[in-house]
């Protein structure tokens, strides 16, 4: 794959393709060799931090209503108190990721990744996202961001 023609758009598209390619091959790997959450956290760096820094006005700014949270794929996920708009969630997640205020939570003895927990620098909850809801969330967010970028450029 060559150089970027439109960096922001192509970076988002390529990162989503990277997640998709990995998800296609992950089941062929032994369980101990599956690094899906490491990949997801690395991809979050690009999919959350880059847009916030370079194209923040294109990030959707919808109210975080129950319907919108459902559209995001959030069923068992929780958003921190006081976060009422999507752009604010992305901004606060950006800070969590950039300062590596991310924790992994396991809810049973299997010690699997059940939740990714994002906090602010003061330790207050930004989001507690169910691991199975992370990729659908990223896809929905990126689809909307790409639509805004393509429509307005």
Residue 1 lies inside a defined structural domain of this protein: no
The answer to whether residue 2 sits within a structural domain is no
Residue 1 has pLDDT above 80, yes or no: no
What is the total count of domains within the chain?
Answer: 1
- CA neighbours closer than 13 Å in the CB half-sphere of residue 5: 2
Q: 11: pLDDT confidence band, cut at 50, 70 and 90?
A: confident
82-126 pLDDT, tens digit per residue, is 999 999 999 999 999 889 899 989 998 877 789 999 999 999 999
* Residue 147, domain extent: 7-152
Q: What is the pLDDT of residue 57?
A: 87
Instruction: Give the C-alpha separation, 29 to 74, whole Å.
Output: 28
Rounded CA gap, 91 and 108, in Å? 31
Q: At 61, is the pLDDT very low, low, confident or very high (cuts 50, 70, 90)? A: very high
Assess if residue 100 is contained within a domain: yes
Q: What is the pLDDT of residue 81?
A: 94
Output the pLDDT for position 34: 61
| Confidence label for 53 from pLDDT (cuts 50, 70 and 90) | confident
The model carries a pTM of: 0.84
- Per residue in 15-49, pLDDT (tens digit) is 888 888 776 776 776 777 666 677 777 788 888 88
The structure tokens 């708009």 sit at 85
User: How far is Cα 47 from Cα 94, in angstroms, rounded to an integer?
Assistant: 9
Instruction: Kindly indicate the confidence band of residue 153, based on its pLDDT and cuts at 50, 70 and 90.
Output: low
- Whether 107 is in a domain gets the answer yes
Tokens of 137: 């969330």
């Amino acid at each position: 794959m060559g150089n970027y023609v439109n960096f922001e758009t192509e970076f988002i598209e390529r990162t989503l393709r990277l997640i998709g390619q990995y998800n296609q091959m992950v089941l062929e790997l032994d369980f101990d060799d599956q690094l899906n959450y490491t990949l997801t956290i690395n991809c979050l760096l690009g999919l959350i931090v880059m847009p916030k820094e370079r194209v923040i006005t294109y990030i959707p700014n919808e109210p975080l209503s129950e319907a919108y949270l459902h559209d995001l794929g959030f069923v068992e996920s929780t958003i921190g108190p006081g976060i009422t708009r999507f752009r604010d969630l992305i901004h606060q997640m950006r800070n969590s990721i950039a300062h590596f205020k991310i924790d992994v939570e396991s809810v049973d003895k299997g010690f699997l990744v059940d939740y990714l927990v994002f906090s602010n620098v003061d330790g207050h909850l930004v989001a507690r996202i169910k691991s199975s809801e992370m990729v659908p969330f990223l896809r929905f967010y990126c689809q909307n961001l790409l639509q805004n970028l393509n429509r307005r450029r």
